[in-house]
Structures are given as C-alpha cells and as structure tokens.
Chains A and B, each alone.
Chain A
Amino acid sequence: GENVEQHPSTLSVQEGDSAVIKCTYSDSASNYFPWYKQELGKGPQLIIDIRSNVGEKKDQRIAVTLNKTAKHFSLHITETQPEDSAVYFCAASYHSSASKIIFGSGTRLSIRP
C-alpha cells in the first residue's frame, strides 16, 4: 500500500525566514497531495493541495511543488510569522474516496521571534 515519509520531524526557523518540509510517497498511482496544518487543541486544517497534473501551486506565502518522477513533494512557507507555528502534515491519495488518504508523520514547525 501507499507509504508517505515526511522530513524533518521538527523545524525551527527565524521569523521572516523560509521553511521547507519535504515528503516522499511510494505508490506512483497517487495523484492528489494535500497539506494540513494542525494547531494545538485543534483538528488538521487543509492549507493547500496539489494534483499530479501540475508541478507547482502557490497561495500567498505558501507554495507546494511536486516531482512525480522522483515521487516527492514539498511545502514552502516564505516570510514566516509566529502564527505559522504548528504541526504540518503532508498526505497522498489515489483512491476514489476523499477519506482514503495516507498521512505523513508530521513536522512540528516553530518560529523564533
């Protein structure tokens, strides 16, 4: 079955700097890759997603890139702010149902003031 690996598990960056989180997946049939942000005491919230027919997608300070040949995708956050501190999860999906997605292990991002 699908397996998603996520790195690093923890990341600390200076406020204003960029943060990059990387994920790899095993099943070449996967073609939908959402990213979730989970704040303390809350459930995961979708922040951006990418489909396999595009290589990059951007939404303000957040961007995601996808390399299908290498089977990896990355989340880029620029000009980081204190409110970006949270746990981020990547995920991969290829099933017909929205619920059949495999999550990465998560990255705890801390923004240093």
Chain B
Amino acid sequence: KAGVTQTPRYLIKTRGQQVTLSCSPISGHRSVSWYQQTPGQGLQFLFEYFSETQRNKGNFPGRFSGRQFSNSRSEMNVSTLELGDSALYLCASSLVGQYQETQYFGPGTRLLVL
C-alpha cells in the first residue's frame, strides 16, 4: 500500500507570493491533517480535513488555508508569503481521524521564502 505522498518536495518562493501544496493520503484514509515544522517552533498543527470539511484548526493566520477533495486528496495554500513561512510542511492521514488513531506522515514539502 502506498504511503502518504506530498508534492512538490521542494519549493522556493519570494515574499508576497502565494503557494499551493498537495497531499495524497493513504488509500482509504479520509482524514488529512497539515503541520508546519520549523527549528524554532517545532511541529505545529495547522488544520484537519475530513469528508471535504475542515474539522479542526490550529492557531495560524488566515493566510493559511486548505481544502479537501472528494477523493480525500488535500491541498493547502499560503497567501502573501512571509520569510517566517519558510518551513517543512507535513501532511498526515488517518482512517477517520478518531481519537488515538495512528497518523501516517508524508515526507513533507520544504518551502523556502526569499
């Protein structure tokens, strides 16, 4: 069974631009979560999608948004990029996102904002 895939793996953008990252969950998984990983802040939860609806949201500004499609694939978008948005963005999937359910992480998309 294929794991969680994320595209692209690396991305370079400049301040003010916007970016869209994509995540394909494990087949059959309907819950997709997004995390931001930085050396200073560690792993921080962005949001979770289930059945095309945002179910949970972390403490990030409105510039960070996402969506989920009917096939459970998810995208996240960051508008008006700032230097501080440089990070590894991780996507994780689980069956239905129930409490204590194992999350499976993808390899991440490394975003560099210049």
Contacts and interface: CB of A to CB of B under 8 A. Distances in A.
Interface of A: 32, 34, 36, 41-46, 49, 51, 89, 93, 95-106
B90 interface: yes
Interface string B1-37: 0001000000000000000000000000001010000
Interface of B: 4, 31, 33, 42-45, 48, 55-56, 90, 92, 94, 97-108
A99 B102 contact: no
A36 B98 CA distance: 18
Given A44-B43, A44-B90, A106-B42, A100 B103 contact: no
Contacts, number: 71
A88 B99 CA distance: 22
A85 B103 CA distance: 22
A29 to B, nearest CB: 12
B13 to A, nearest CB: 21
A45 B55 contact: no
A103 B108 CA distance: 17
A44 B43 CA distance: 10
A99 B107 contact: no
Contacts of A103: 42-44
Nearest to B33: A99
B100 A32 contact: yes
Q: Which 9 A-B pairs have the closest CB atoms?
A: A43-B105, A99-B33, A99-B48, A103-B43, A98-B101, A32-B100, A98-B97, A105-B42, A44-B105
B4, B94, B102, B103: most-surrounded residue (chain A CB, <10 A): B103
Nearest to B88: A43
Contact of B103 (A41, A46, A102): A46
Contact of A100 (B4, B56, B108): B56
A98 B106 contact: no
A99 B100 contact: no
Given A43-B106, A99-B48, 7 more contacts: A43-B107, A46-B103, A98-B100, A98-B101, A100-B48, A101-B45, A103-B42
Contacts of B31: 98-99
